[in-house]
Amino acid sequence: MGDKMVNILLVEDDEIDVMNVKRAFKKNNVTNPLYVCNNGLEALQFLRGERDPSITENPQIILLDLNMPKMGGIEFLREIRKDEKLKKISVFIMTTSNEDKDKLDAYDLNVAGYILKPLSMERFIEAVSTLNNYWKLCEYPER
Amino acid sequence: MWESIINRIYRMKIGTRTAISYFAVIMVVLTFTTASILLLQYAKNIDIKIASNFSPVISAIKDYQLLIEESGRLSAEISIQANEAKTKRLIKIHQRLYTRQKSTLIGLCQEPGLSDIKKRIISVDKRFENTLKLQKQLIELMNADSAYRNPMKMLEAKTIKDRIDSEINKLKLVLSETTLQAISVFNKLDAQKFASYRTLSYLLLIMIIVIAILAAISILITNFTIIKPIKELNAILDEVGEGKIIQFQSDAPREDEIGDMISSAQKLVQGFKNKEQVANAIGKGDYDIKVPMLSRRDRLGKALSEMRDNLKLSKEKEAENIKSLEAYNVSLMKKNKQLEEFAYITSHDLKSPLRGINNLTEWIQEDMGEKLSEESNAYFNMLRGRAHRMEALINSILQYSRAEKTKENQETIASKSVVYEVLESLDLPENISILIDDALPNVTANKKDLTEVFKVFISNAIHHNKSIEPILNISAQQIGRMVTFCIADNGPGIPEEFHEKIFTIFQTLERRDEVENIGAGLAIGKKIIEGYGGKVWVKSEKGNGAKFYFEWPA
C-alpha cells in the first residue's frame, strides 16, 4: 500500500454523526481523505463524478448510514451493486437500526460489515480504530 | 273386461252404486218369492183337484159296478123263477138308475187326466148294451105265461143267464182295472205335488246361494274400489303426517267420491311439495323465489313468504354487518401495523438526537478539560446517565413492539436445553443454587421466543433476589395439551396488589436509579406467551419468594 491512502466516503445525514466520525478519525490518527455526502442520491452523484469534477479517484471504502432522506442506505447499495464501475467498493454499514431485516438486506448486498452506532464516544472510537486496522490490512486492486 | 267393468264403476258415485246393488238384491228376492208363491199355488191346486175328483170318481165307479152286478144277480134269479118285484127292479135299473149312474160317472171324468177312464167307461157301456139286450130278452121270455113250466124255455133262459153272467164278469174285470187306473192317475198327481214342493225347496236354496254370491261380489267390489284405495290414501296421508312428502297417482281415472278424495289429497301433497321446494330454495339462499299460494287463505304460504322476506332482510343486514366488521378489522390491522411502525420509527428517530446530545456533552467535557468545575462534570455525567437510560427505554419499546409469536420455524423443542442455554448466557451470582426438574417436557415453539421467555423469568428471579443463599427452582407440569412451567425464587416476594401490575410495561417496584431495570421484561414475556395461547400468573407473598407460572403448548 505504501504511502498511498485509500479514499473514504461517509454517507450520513446527521451533522453530529459526521462530526463524530471525524473526531474519531482524528483520535485514531486516521489520515485517509474523507468525503462526506448527506444522502444516497448525493453519494451516487459524487461517485459518478457529477458533483465535484476535481476528484479523480473514487473512494474504495464507503461508511453508510441506513436511515437517510431522499435515498436510504439499502437503496443506495442496490444502485451501486448494479453499476459495473462501482460494485467493487467495500461498504460498511454504520447505523442505529438493530433490525434483522436491515441486517439481512445489507448482507444480501455484499457489505463488508454492519456496525451499530454505540451511544458512547469511547466505544465508537474503539470501533473506528478496529476498522482502521482492518483497512490497513486489506489489499485493494490497482485502478 | 274386468278393467272396463272397474272403469264403469269408477265413473259412478258411491250412492248410485249402493242403490244399484240394493235394487239387484231386492229384484232377486222378489223373483224368487214370486216363483215360490206360484209353486205353492200349483201344489195347492193339485191338492184341491185330488180332493174334489179322486173319491167321487172311485165311488162312482164302484156304484156303477154294483149296479151292473145287481142287474146280473137279478137276471140270474129271474131266470130260475119269475118274480115280479125283481123284474120291476131290473127294469128300473135299465130305464133310470143305470143311465143316471153312467152320466154321473162320465161327468166326473171331464178332467183331461181322466180321459182314459172315460173312454173305458164308454167302452164298458157299449158292452153293457149287449147284456141289456140279453136281460130284456130274458124278461120277455120269463114274462110269457108258464114259461117256467116249459123246460125248453127254461133251458133257453139258463143259456141267456149264462151269457149274461159271463158278460158281467168281463165288465167287472174291466171296471176293477178302471178303478186301478184311476188310482194310479191320482197317485201321479200326488207325485206331481210332491215334486213341486221339492222344487220349492231347491228354489229357496238357490235363492240363498245367489244372494250370498251377490253379497260376496258386492263386498269384493267394495273392498277393491273403496276400502283398498282409502287404506292406500290413509297410508300416504299418514306418511305425509309424519313429514314425508310423496307424490302419488291414482291407478284409474275416477269420478266418484274416492276420486275426489284422492285428488284433494294430491292437491294437498302437491301444495306441500311446492312449499318444500320453496323452503329449500329459501334455505339455500334464494330470497327472490315466488311462494306459490294455494288460495287467499293459504296461511302456510303467507308464513313462508313472510319468513323469506324476514330472512332476506336479516341476510342483507348480516352482509352489511360483515362488511362493516371486515372494514373495521382491516382498519384495526392497519392501525396495529401503524402503531408498530410508529414505535419502530419513533424509537429510531429518537435515538439519533439522543446520541447527538450524548456525543456533544462528551465533546464539551473533553474540550473543556480542566476548565470545567467538578460540579459541572458531575452534572454532565448525570446528563449522560439519563441519556443512556432513555436509550434503554427506547430499546425496550422497540423490543416490546416486536415481541409476539413468531410464525416461522415452529418446532418441537426440549425446554430443558433452552433453560440450560439461558442460564449459561446470564451472569449468575456465585452462591446461587439452581434446581431444575429433570422431566422438563418438549414443547412446540420458535426457539427464539421460548429462549426470550425463559430469559425474562430467570433473570427476573435472579436480579430481584437479595437472599444470602439465593435459590432458583424450575419445574413443569403437563395437563392435556398445555405445559405449565413454574419458576420459583426465595427473593423478597411480591405483595398481592402488584401481581397484575408487574406485567405492565415500564412498571417496576423499585426506584429506577437503584436497580438497573427498565421494567419491560415481564411485559415482553407476557406478550409472547399470550401469542402462543398461554397464560401468565404469579403466586407470592411478601418475604416468602415468588412463583411465576406460565403455560406453553406441548
Q: Phi-psi bin for B383: left (phi > 0), alpha (psi -120 to 50), beta?
A: alpha
**What residues of chain A lie within 8 A of the CB of B348, using their CB?**
67, 96-97
**Are B315 and B292 a contacting pair, CB within 8 Å?**
no
**CA A86, CA A47: separation in Å to the nearest integer?**
8
Alpha-carbon separation of residue B414 from B376, B418, B441, B450, B452 (angstroms)? 54, 7, 6, 10, 15
Sheet holding A90-95, edge to edge: A34-37, A8-11, A61-64, A90-95, A113-116
From chain B residues 16-35, the ones with a CB under 8 A of any chain A CB are: none
| Secondary structure of residue A94 in the 3-state scheme | strand
Q: Would you call B448 an interface residue with chain A, using a CB distance cutoff of 8 Å?
A: no
Quote the cell numbers at residue A25.
Answer: 478519525
A94 forms beta bridges with: A115
| A91: closest CA of chain B, how far (Å) | 21
Task: State the number of CA atoms in the 13 A half-sphere of A21 facing the CB.
Answer: 27
Is B66:B101 a contact under the CB 8 Å cutoff?
no
* Domain residue extents for chain A: 8-137
> Per DSSP, what are the bridge partners of residue B537?
B549
| Cβ within 8 Å of residue B374, ≥6 positions away | none
Q: Do A117 and B355 touch (CB under 8 A)?
A: yes
Q: What is the pLDDT of residues A20-41, one digit of tens each?
A: 888 888 888 888 888 888 888 8
The SS3 of residue B264 is: helix
How far apart, in whole angstroms, are the C-alpha atoms of residue B86 and residue A21? 209
Q: What are the chain B neighbours of A19 within 8 Å (beta carbons)?
A: 359, 363
B498 touches B487 (CB < 8 A): no
Q: Give the whole-angstrom CA distance, residue B439 versus residue B415.
A: 10
pLDDT of residue B326: 93
In this predicted model, what pLDDT tens digit does every residue of A62-110 receive, in sequence order?
A: 889 888 888 888 889 998 888 888 888 889 898 887 778 888 999 998 8
Query: What gap in Å lies between CA A92 and CA A70, rounded to an integer?
Result: 20
% chain A with pLDDT above 70: 94
Neighbouring residues of B511: CB distance < 8 A, sequence distance ≥ 6: none
Alpha helix stretches (DSSP H) within B109-251: 115-143, 151-222, 228-241
B261 vs B253: CA distance, rounded Å: 12
Task: Give chain A positions within 8 Å (CB) of B387.
Answer: 119
Alpha helices in B296-427 (DSSP H): 299-368, 374-402, 415-425
Q: How far apart are CA B213 and CA A74, in angstroms?
A: 113
Determine contact, residues B108/B52, Cβ cutoff 8 Å: no
**Per-residue pLDDT tens listing for chain B (554 residues):** 777 877 787 788 888 888 988 898 899 889 988 988 998 898 888 888 777 777 788 888 888 888 888 888 888 888 877 778 888 888 888 888 888 888 888 888 877 777 888 888 888 888 888 888 888 888 887 777 666 677 787 888 888 888 888 888 888 888 888 888 888 888 888 888 888 888 888 988 998 898 899 889 888 888 888 888 888 888 888 888 888 877 777 666 777 888 888 888 888 888 888 888 888 888 888 888 888 887 888 888 888 888 888 988 998 999 999 999 999 999 998 998 888 778 777 777 788 888 888 888 888 888 888 888 888 888 888 888 888 888 888 888 887 877 776 667 788 888 888 888 888 888 888 888 888 888 888 888 888 888 888 888 888 888 888 788 888 888 888 888 888 888 888 888 888 877 777 887 776 656 555 445 667 788 888 888 888 888 888 888 777 888 888 888 88
Cα of B88 vs its chain's centroid, Å? 112
Q: What is the pLDDT of residue B323?
A: 93
Residue B292 has φ and ψ, to the nearest 5°, of -70, 125
Residue A95 φ then ψ, to 5°: -145, 170
Q: Give yes or no for a contact between B364 and B380, defined as CB atoms under 8 angstroms apart.
A: yes
One-letter amino acid at A41 equals L
| The three three-digit cell numbers of residue B430, written as one number | 456465585
CB contact under 8 A, B363 and A23: yes
Nearest to A16 among B344, B360, B395 (CB): B360
In chain A, the largest separation of any two C-alpha atoms, in whole Å, equals 39
Residue A110's φ and ψ, nearest 5 degrees, are: 65, 50
**Number of A–B residue contacts, CB under 8 Å:** 38
Among residues 346-375 of chain B, which lie with CB inside 8 Å of chain A?
348, 351-352, 354-356, 358-360, 362-363, 366
Is the domain spanning A8-137 CATH 1.10.1060.10? The answer is no
How does DSSP classify residue A142? -
Strand B433-436 to A8-11 pairing: unpaired
Are A119 and B388 an interchain contact pair (Cβ–Cβ within 8 Å)? yes
Estimate to the nearest angstrom the gap between the alpha carbon of A26 and the chain centroid.
17
* Cell output for A129: 480504530
Residue in the structure block whose three cell numbers are 446530545: B357
User: Cα Rg for chain B, rounded, in angstroms?
Assistant: 74
pLDDT class of A2 with cuts at 50, 70, 90: very low
Contact B362, A121 (CB under 8 A): yes
Residue B148's pLDDT is 66
- The grid coordinates of residue A46 equal 459524487
With beta carbons less than 8 A apart as the criterion, state whether B550 and B443 touch.
no
The C-alpha atoms of residue A9 and residue A31 are separated, in whole angstroms, by: 13
CA distances to B97, B178, B227, B385, B389 from B382, in Å = 195, 182, 112, 5, 10
Taking a C-beta distance cutoff of 8 angstroms, is the pair B270, B26 a contact? Answer: no
Nearest Cα of chain A lies from the Cα of B391 at a distance, in angstroms, of: 8
Q: Which three cell numbers stand for residue B234?
A: 290413509
Strands B546-553 and B536-540: antiparallel
* B161 neighbors B148 (Cβ within 8 angstroms): no
CB atoms B351 and A96 under 8 Å:
yes
